[in-house]
Amino acid sequence: MTKFISWNVNGLRACEGKGFSDAFRSLDADFFCLQETKMQQGQLDLAFDGYESYWNYADKKGYSGTAIFARRKPEAVTYGIGIDEHDHEGRVITLDMGTFFLVTVYTPNSQDGLRRLDYRMKWEDDFRAYLMRLDAEKPVIVCGDMNVAHQEIDLKNPKSNRRNAGFTDEERQKFGQLLASGFTDTFRLLHPEQVTYSWWSYRFKAREKNAGWRIDYFVTSERINEKVMEANIHTEIMGSDHCPVELVLDI
């Protein structure tokens, strides 16, 4: 069995001050993927015995950024998706593990007033094409903050959020298009009716009231559905406005 964890830490240095290392050790994953690290090289010396780490930093300081801690050595590591327009924000890392690809992603937010929605749509098409190219070679496991609640069950207040970033028709359709391209939302595969969230606004005591959104995912190539053993959301773990999500694969 192989255990994967994905967590948007919303600033790794801040999260480290709120118990990140303890959570990392207790979750005991083979691969631990991070989004929104918000740091540059050399700003935090964080290492764990038995793990190699891979980092993709945004050009802009204190913004975006991804990382993967891996117990197993990859055959190759790629940063970005090979398109200059998208590859300055540290959003994607791909590990070629020989029998599968592991991709972590921090999908661009459409932002207030949807001012980045057009860019987001371009990103969605280009990122989906990237995943499909990988999938043509071997199975893909993609995880991260994908900044979309796919269905009404995936957020507390769907009606009032209909035209808000993360729950626009356009974003939801793009996620549906990804799934229709041969990929599976692993949490929904195992828990089709379960209502649980992975992100809560810092405003209005949203976490206390559990007024959240499920926007953090493990999406895998459909042909390995039978290898999906567990899919969990660790709502009990604090330290960020997101909580860690988990996948266990027989791989």
Helix, strand, or coil here: 245? Answer: strand
Rounded to the nearest integer, the mean pLDDT of the chain is: 96
With 90 as the cut, is the pLDDT of residue 203 above it? no
**C-alpha neighbours within 13 Å on the C-beta side of residue 203:** 0
Q: What percent of the chain has pLDDT over 90?
A: 96
pLDDT of residue 45: 84
Summarize the confidence of residues 232-250 as an average pLDDT. 97
| 107-116, 141-150, 215-224, range with the lowest pLDDT | 107-116
Given a contact cutoff of 8 angstroms between Cβ atoms, the answer to whether 114 and 148 are in contact is no
Given a contact cutoff of 8 angstroms between Cβ atoms, the answer to whether 36 and 9 are in contact is yes
pLDDT of residue 44: 87
User: Catalytic amino acids?
Assistant: 106, 145
Helix, strand, or coil here: 145? Answer: strand
Task: Quick: pLDDT tens for 2-52.
Answer: 999 999 999 999 999 999 999 999 999 999 999 999 999 989 889 999 999
Given a contact cutoff of 8 angstroms between Cβ atoms, the answer to whether 65 and 56 are in contact is yes
pLDDT of residue 9: 98
Summarize the confidence of residues 148-154 as an average pLDDT. 98
pLDDT of residue 70: 98
Position 19, amino acid = G
With 90 as the cut, is the pLDDT of residue 59 above it? yes
Helix, strand, or coil here: 167? Answer: coil
